[in-house]
Chain A
Amino acid sequence: MTYSASTSDWAVEADGLVKTFGTNRAVDGIDLRVATGTVYGVLGPNGAGKTTTISMLATLLKPDAGSARIFGHDVQRESQVVRQLIGVTGQYASVDETLSATENLVLFSRLLGLSSSQAKVKAHDLLEEFHLTDAAKRPLKNFSGGMRRRLDLAASLIAQPPLIFLDEPTTGLDPRTRMQMWDTIRRLVSTGSTVLLTTQYLDEADQLADRIAVIDRGRVVAEGTSNELKASVGESSLELRLADNRDLDDVRVAIERVLGVDPTVSPEAGRITAPMNNPDRVTELLVTLREEGIHLAELSVAKPTLDEVFLTLTGRGVDDAETENTAELEGSRA
């Protein structure tokens, strides 16, 4: 049965995806829309359900409920078609450790239908493109994390798939290698690929993604462009530590009045965090505080981190989210 062109502008459409492991709802009703030709970032802490979501979209895992289509093709009914349209670079190396880089690329090329000589040319080109030529014959055991990731990505590009899944492509890489990976991803997009990547870093999603979905405990808690997302958290955030905790309430009221935003209060730490859309207003706030005779122990301005995005969206920090996930896991094992 052959499928001809369908007229879908969406590279990925997921509706109500659910995956349960035992009692743990790893993915709990996720909807996604990824437009063709864009980079889409799925941002979330460890255990949020990113890998599980990608696995379902990439036909590696069967959803318990919901459906997904890749360029209009259903991942379950037309899984073999979907596999012809995607490249998957997993969170953990998905290359054969016992083979050399060249042997890996030739193997995958052959499986994808290239002739023996075409496969060799392809392997050679990809190794050159990803600066791995010098290491082509060395066993993978001696590869650095960055080299392994590059080889992994190269292997995903053999068939020049129009959609590429990248699961945490830079986690564990040093800053320089990370920048190189970002460049590579940008280059991919410029050739017309659609990229869906997951990350734990807001700045990565910010740098690369046209749109971002923030996920937590298997749910999408926010979705939008990087700017929309940051606007909901504040361009930067203001953090105040008070000399006297009894002033917390007064400060909160002052922030609401002067900055017009809802601050997050951590009473134990005597700390108040507020999104700061307009840095000029901070001067006004400080003046107000002095007029009211409130003393500050510390003041800092920070770019929003994933932690703050989280705090704003869910009312809890990333650390809390991870602790909860661990607790759930331990609970299910007990």
Chain B
Amino acid sequence: MKANCWMGKKRLEVQDVPDPKILNARDAIVRITSTAICGSDLHLYNGFIPTMEKGDILGHEFMGEVVETGPAVKNLKVGDRVVVPFPIACGACSMCQRDLFSLCENSNPNAWIAEKLMGHSPAGLFGYSHMLGGYAGGQAEYARVPFADVGPLKISNGLSDDQVLFLSDILPTGYMGAEMCNIQPGDVIAVWGCGPVGQFAIASAKMLGAERIIGIDRFPYRLRMAAEKAGATETINYEQESVLERLLELTAGRGPDACIDAVGMEAHGHAAVYAYDRAKQALMLETDRPIALREAITACRSGGTVSVIGVYGGFIDKFPMGALMNKSLTIRTGQTHVQRYMRPLLERIERGEIDPSFVITHHMSLSEAPRGFDMFLHKRDNCEKVVLTA
């Protein structure tokens, strides 16, 4: 089959590789019909996530048709149309039992590597380094889906791939980002990053009843999408105005009740700060550039919540712990527990409360994946989200 393989930093190749096989009794094989490129893939592409190997198949946002099931899979049959959640979760361990699926204790065969770095290992993820399992990803024609009796969501209602594909990751991620803000009547929510994840965080904050939602980015087309499609009531272009001043002004000095970081470890920023973090990152003195996170903590109102859904991989520098502590802030974060949100969000899509396909700007074939990555990375051609089809 064809698959999009990581061949080194900023080097991808669509190669012919062996077809996946059933390895465990609870596996299924899925023929992929749609698969997307995620902001998280850019961290791999740019070489910021350790333990990648030449030839690794990328991709963790995919859906398709079941073509084979292992002997222990009773809930799916050949021909079923399914969306696959990006964290691999067993459904039985103590984390899965608490609905913390992205922390599954049994799905990462390389847990020991992650334990050395983080103390404990999160779940295995599709196409996301060896430290997180060494699972082949879903930017391919077929994928092996472990624990197919737990994760995949059956779609049987005639909704299109474009409408349900993002249940695999970014819609639940944006939703969890907003849910972690514990939104109360009158709340003002600020969202750093108007990539696809930020768009869904904005749309979800709206669904959860936020009074006002402020989208922050530097690309006018992304800010426009946030205002026109996602439901932002205001937007801030951080290259044109001071985010902190503007937020104070918009909230009459209170600061946003909750701040969502939908940017993550590769944030961009004003010259001096950006250069400082770039330099430290290059020298390996920090692995992540926490520019948006620092700003979110400083901006957040006293007693407010900072919800971090942007991905961080390692260590950060100049973390404003003093602000966090003295303002009694709450930080909530995590890889998304996708399995927890898929069904309720599918119901919202069915009821017409949200149509996630609004973020898609480009469709391409799988063999054009490298071009799609380059375009998405450089935000060329007003690129917001690329969907690859078989």
Binding partners A and B: no
